[in-house]
Amino acid sequence: MKTVKLLFIGSVFMLLSVSLIAQPKPWVVPANFKAMKNPVAKSDASNKAGMAIFNKNCASCHGKAGLGDGVKAKSLKEPMNDFSKADFQNLADGDIFYKTKTGRGDMPKYEGKLTDDDIWNVVNYVRTFKK
């Protein structure tokens, strides 16, 4: 009986460990970034600039339409988010700006590689991916 209990407890512990490892950690955005307003007006020009930057820097992982199906997506540790889904589209512009600027894990840091205006143009462009 004692062996069965130990096996059961060990199995539960192993399942909990695996499920915790498989879950990506929440990406906490500082309040000052969450509250940021996009200083780049939404426009065709902004979307065009954002599309060019996105295609050059983001599409290989996130896919041309932001569905998370880029050619590199399968080789990454964490699954790519589908930018057309409500959970992404409901993020504040400042959330997207922060995550793009600072990066984390497989997501590269674009601070110093793109200007803030470039990142804001990408924010405007990914807003066009709504379903």
The 10s digit of each residue's pLDDT in 110-125 is: 999 999 999 999 999 9
Is 114 part of a structural domain of the chain?
A: yes
Q: Which residues does residue 104 pair with via DSSP β-bridges, in sequence order?
A: 107
Is 18 part of a structural domain of the chain?
A: no
- Return the SS3 of 36: coil
The 10s digit of each residue's pLDDT in 66-121 is: 999 999 999 999 889 999 999 999 999 999 999 999 999 999 999 999 999 999 99
Is 115 part of a structural domain of the chain?
A: yes
User: What's the number of domains the chain is made of?
Assistant: 1
Q: Rounded to two decimals, what is the model's pTM?
A: 0.80
Is 10 part of a structural domain of the chain?
A: no
Is 71 part of a structural domain of the chain?
A: yes
- Give the C-alpha separation, 52 to 59, whole Å: 10
Residue 35 sits in a domain whose CATH number is 1.10.760.10
Query: 33: domain range?
Result: 29-129
Is 64 part of a structural domain of the chain?
A: yes
